[in-house]
Amino acid sequence: MEPIPIHTLITHESPDLDAIISVLLIKKFGEPFFPGISNAKLEFYPAGKLPGDKNSAQLEKSGILAVDIGGGRFDTHPVNMEVDWNKRDRAAADLVAEHLGLLEDPSWSGLIEYTRLQDSSGHNMYSRKAHHMMMGLLNILEGLQFIHPFDSEKKLDKGIKIISCIPFYAQEPYRKKTFSDLLTPFIQNYLDSLNFETDNPPSYLKPLLSWFELLKNEDIEVFPRNKLDDLVTLKAILIGAHRMSDGDEAFVESILSLCMEAILTKEKNWVDSLEDVSQNGILKDLGPASILAIRSPNGLTIKAARYLHKASLVVYQNSLNDALSFTLNRLGPLNSKFLKGLTAKIRIAECVLQKTPVNYTDIDKMGSLNGWFLHQSGNILVRGSNKSRDFVPSLLPLELITDISSQQVINFLNLNTPPPKLPKEIEAAFIAYGLSKFSNLF
């Protein structure tokens, strides 16, 4: 491939792990392939949208490279409702790494594999221990999202600073059973700076203090044992920072401060989300499956609903901007086939309220249609998100959305339960959809 000069690099708003690592890799190693990329201007766009209504190939010709957005060589999302099945189990980061020849690089390969698993399937850790996940990279990045909900550049900058430490750890993972001597002084200094009452710490701080006791006691369970899990822990970040800076304590403390602020922010929001779900969540118990619907400013209520109620499907509406999402519990009785059917009904109902024609042919496809985006994993349906904030809110009220979801669960699982009554015009459109599917069989 001939080098492609680049002056601007774009990715989606509110960059996630995949976008952050993609930008990090392409800026750090991409100069031979994309001259100018190391100093390229960085811009953020709503997920799935590119500047000037151009595609990624057209943008590259004008010196603009897109990563984790808008299709093209470094994106895995559907384009015009068409999924590239060769990319379904991949992530933008491993497409970038493959292009740059880094897939087998021991400093980066584990981190790239973790990103692929996380982005394609929602993987967090193989360990299911709460304190392992609390001190993990994904939790830290989620904390950064709460700190900088509308500042993509700051989130990306802090994420890159943190993640850049991990390859220095990956070169020689720290396999000693005790690493308390390296980490304890830094963490103790940080906790001392918080000035909390040791006899009565705030509730969101208690999990961290319990974990710190494990660390001080050199408990081998303080961090996960799985090699891939180990690579994305606070331990890997701080030891990597220590090596990266040749033992510069001020640098290590600055990285620790970024991580701990994010962890504690996430923990505080987690405690708030548990209370929010307990007080405001609407639970629909349908026997083998359950739906929990909630309107809240806190996106962690989705996880809290699964944690507290093992909800099979969580319907979440952001009270700040009316963004909506449907999230499946992959361990429950509902699957991607169920969500595909629900997606069709939600899109049809939206058309009915908009008084626009229904395209029954494409109504259940992945990608974006009628303002609703079905993720290629088949587990998530959204209308608006942190990654795409320039959306038109749905006309469907949350109560109606919950009733449509309940009807779909009852039909999908063949339950002997009366379905909720829906508006006549919506029921008629659903019947027309069923007839169109039937006619396509012949």
How confident is the model over 405-426, as pLDDT tens digits? 999 999 999 999 999 999 999 9
β-pairing verdict for 324-328 and 64-66:
unpaired
pLDDT mean over 214-230: 92
* Residue 42 amino acid letter: L
Q: What are phi and psi of 428, to 5 degrees?
A: -65, -40
Contact, 118 vs 18, CB < 8 A?
A: yes
In this prediction, residue 170 carries a pLDDT of: 95
Q: Which residues contact 277 (CB under 8 A, 6 or more apart)?
A: 292, 294, 301, 304, 305, 308, 309
365-411 pLDDT per residue, tens: 988 899 999 988 889 999 998 887 889 999 999 999 999 999 999 99
Contact, 74 vs 22, CB < 8 A?
A: yes
Contact, 92 vs 12, CB < 8 A?
A: no
Residue 439 has pLDDT above 60, yes or no: no
Contact, 321 vs 383, CB < 8 A?
A: no
In this prediction, residue 10 carries a pLDDT of: 97
162-217 pLDDT per residue, tens: 999 999 999 987 655 447 788 899 899 999 999 888 889 999 999 999 999 999 99
Q: What percent of the chain has pLDDT over 70?
A: 95
Maximum Cα–Cα distance across the chain: 73
For the residues of 224-258, what is the DSSP string, one character each? --SHHHHHTBHHHHHHHHHHHTTS-HHHHHHHHHH
Contact, 385 vs 77, CB < 8 A?
A: no
User: What is the band of 81 on the pLDDT scale with cuts at 50, 70, 90?
Assistant: low
82-140 pLDDT per residue, tens: 667 677 789 999 999 999 999 999 999 999 999 999 998 889 999 999 999 999 999 99
Whole-model pTM? 0.89
